[in-house]
Amino acid sequence: MKKIINNPSDFVKESIEGLIKSHPDVYAISKDNDRVIIKAKKSVNKVGIVTGGGSGHLPVFTGYVGKGFLDACAIGSVFASPSVDQMLSAIKNADNGNGVLCIIGNYGGDVMNFEMACEMAEADGIKTKKIIVADDIASASASEKAKRRGIAGMIFVFKIAGSFSETGASLEEVYNLANEANGNIRTLGVALSPCILPEAGKPTFEIKDDEIEIGMGIHGEPGIKREKLKPADDLVDDLYKIIIEDSKLKSNDIISIMINSLGATPLEELYIVSKKFNENLVNSKIINIKTYVGRYATSMEMAGMSITTIKLNKNLEKYLFAASVCPFWNN
Is 23 part of the annotated catalytic residue set? no
Three-class SS state of 258: strand
pLDDT for residue 303: 97
pLDDT for residue 6: 97
Ranges of residues in the chain with a pLDDT under 70 are none
CA separation for the pair 227, 216 (Å, rounded)? 12
pTM over 0.75: yes
pLDDT for residue 201: 87
CA separation for the pair 259, 158 (Å, rounded)? 17
Residue pair 39/65 in contact by the 8 Å Cβ criterion: yes
**Nearest-5° Cα angle at 324, 53 to 309:** 65
Arithmetic mean of pLDDT over the chain: 97
- Helices 232-247 and 267-283, packing angle to 10 deg: 50
CA separation for the pair 88, 108 (Å, rounded)? 17
Pairing, β 303-311 against β 287-294: unpaired
Q: Which 8-state DSSP code applies to residue 32? A: S
Is 57 part of the annotated catalytic residue set? yes
- Helices 171-183 and 154-165, packing angle to 10 deg: 150
Structure confidence by residue, pLDDT tens digits, 89-104? 999 999 999 999 999 9
Cα distances from 56 to residues 206, 215, 302, in angstroms, run 19, 19, 10
Residue pair 263/195 in contact by the 8 Å Cβ criterion: yes
Closest CA to 223 of 198, 242, 241, 210: 242
Three-class SS state of 206: coil
CA separation for the pair 324, 6 (Å, rounded)? 33
Cα distances from 248 to residues 87, 144, 186, 242, in angstroms, run 35, 16, 10, 10
CA separation for the pair 70, 48 (Å, rounded)? 8
pLDDT for residue 218: 87
CA separation for the pair 289, 312 (Å, rounded)? 10
Kindly report the number of other CB atoms within 10 A of residue 225's CB atom: 10
Structure confidence by residue, pLDDT tens digits, 262-278? 999 999 999 999 999 99
In the set 186, 219, 276, 295, the catalytic residue is 219
DSSP 141-156: -GGGGGGPPP-TTHHH
Which residue segments constitute the domains of the chain, with CATH numbers given? 8-183 (3.40.50.10440), 185-320 (3.30.1180.20)
Q: For residue 260, how many C-alpha atoms fall within 13 Å in the half-sphere facing its CB?
A: 30
**Nearest-5° Cα angle at 266, 262 to 268:** 130
Exposed (0-12), middle (13-18) or buried (19+): which is 195, by Cβ within 10 Å?
A: buried
Cα distances from 318 to residues 245, 258, 288, 304, 322, in angstroms, run 26, 17, 15, 31, 6
CA separation for the pair 151, 219 (Å, rounded)? 10
CA separation for the pair 275, 302 (Å, rounded)? 22
- For 206, list phi and psi in degrees, rounded to 5: -120, 140
In the set 35, 57, 129, 186, the catalytic residue is 57
